Each structure stands twice: as structure tokens, then as C-alpha cells.
Chains A and B, each alone.
Chain A
Amino acid sequence: MSGSGVPLLAYLLVSGAMFLIGLLGVMIRRNPLMVLLAVELMLNGANVTLVGFSRFWDTTDGQTFALVVMVVAAAEVVIGLGLVVAVYRQRLRLNIDEMTRLRG
């Protein structure tokens, strides 16, 4: 491998760490926003791997891939946000309904 600069193993360990932390985040966090963040972390972990390997093999494929992934990740998060917003709206309405019903 190209000796200069950061060794590949470092890339891989960091990315693996990011991926696992994200995974645990998904499993442990309860707030959906946090879960979305964790997912983002996982995707970016994979991105780091891609970039690292892309440097290792010196081709640009990996970086292109990473770029695409960024977009995808953003899209996913946005959808997630939208759904969360919708859910909260729903909850608010629901709460009010519940109370009126319970009072009546």
C-alpha cells in the first residue's frame, strides 16, 4: 500500500468505531431524532471506509460513492425529520382528543 500518510488500518478502525457507535446509538437512544443522528453516524462510518480504501487503491470510485452516499443520507434524514414532525403533530392532536374524551 502507499506508505505515505495515514495507514489504512487507522481509517478502518475509525470508521468501524463510528459504525458501531452509530449502531449502539440506534439501539439505545429513544428519541427518534437521536436515532436518526446515529444512523447518520453509521452511514458516515461507511463513508470513511470508502474514502480510506479509495486512497489505498488510489482510484476515485470510492470517493464518488461517498458523495452519493452523502446525498442519500441527507435524503433519509430529511424524510425522518418530516415523519417525526408529522408524528408530533399527530400526538398533540391526539392528546387533546384524549383529554376532552376523558373529561366528557
Chain B
Amino acid sequence: MELSAYLPILVFFALGLAVGGAILTLSKIVRPKHTLVKDLPYESGILGGTPARQRFSIDFYLTAMLFIVFDIELAFLYPVALTLRDDGLLGLVVLIVFVFTIVEALVYIWKKKALEWR
């Protein structure tokens, strides 16, 4: 096989790394410096630069996390569904084990009270 034709990839990699390194070093040099004096509370003593993202509720993320339980399930159920007929009983058993595990996870988050919105 003439896979050695793919030397470009290596070159590409090297190039990418070089660029990345350059960017990093640059950003290291020119990035705004945080010094004690700059960051000290000024005027009426308001703390400098509090990020905005702390405003909206964090529980939002929590529910976002739960999607794995229901989503990954599908990712696997699709191919299984396609070949279930050929796999026969064995496939069914495997499927059941898999689903059971997912359900277990569901029970877990349930008991951990992650499902109700605080």
C-alpha cells in the first residue's frame, strides 16, 4: 500500500504545531498583564471584572448533563435495531443488559434528586 503518499499529513501536523506554538508564545508576550496594583479595588472598591456568566442559574447546566442518559442510549439502539433480527436472542440479551444499565443510571440521578428543578 502506498500510504507513504500521505506524508503531507505529517507536514501539515508539523506546520499546525509550529503555528500553534507561535500563537501561544505571541499571546504570552502581548497578553494584558494582571498585576496586583491593576487588580486592586478602585474608586468605591468594586472588585475588578466579575464574569457575566455567573448571573443565570447553574442548574441549567445540570439538566444539560442529564441528556447523556437518554441520548447515548439512542446512539447505540440505532445500530442494534438494524441488526437485531440477525443477532437473534443473543442480541436481545445484550440489548437488555445495556438498557438495564442505562435505567440504573436513571434511577441513580432520580434518587440524587437531580431531576427536580431547584
Contacts and interface: CB of A to CB of B under 8 A. Distances in A.
Do the two chains touch directly in the complex (Cβ atoms below 8 Å apart)?
A: yes
Interface of A: 8-9, 12-13, 16, 20, 23-24, 27-28, 31, 67, 70-71, 74-75, 78, 81-82, 84-85, 88-89, 91-92
Contacts, number: 55
B12 A84 contact: no
Nearest to A98: B47
Contact of A9 (B6, B17, B79): B6
18 contacts: A8-B6, A13-B12, A16-B16, A20-B16, A20-B20, A27-B24, A28-B27, A31-B53, A67-B75, A70-B72, A74-B71, A78-B65, A81-B61, A81-B64, A85-B61, A85-B65, A89-B58, A92-B54
Interface of B: 6, 8-9, 12-13, 16-17, 20, 23-24, 27, 53-54, 58, 61-62, 64-65, 68, 71-72, 75-76, 79
A88 B23 contact: no
Question: What's the dominant secondary structure at chain B's contact region?
Answer: helix
B7 to A, nearest CB: 11
B64 A67 contact: no
A82 B65 contact: yes
A97 to B, nearest CB: 14
The 8 closest A-B pairs by CB, nearest first: A20-B16, A85-B61, A78-B65, A78-B68, A81-B65, A24-B20, A71-B72, A85-B58
Given A67-B76, A75-B68, A82-B65, A24 B23 contact: yes
Contacts of B16: 16, 20, 23
B117 to A, nearest CB: 14
The residue in B17, B58, B71, B76 that gathers the most chain A C-beta atoms within 10 A of its C-beta is B58
A75 B76 CA distance: 14
Contact of B9 (A13, A24, A89): A13
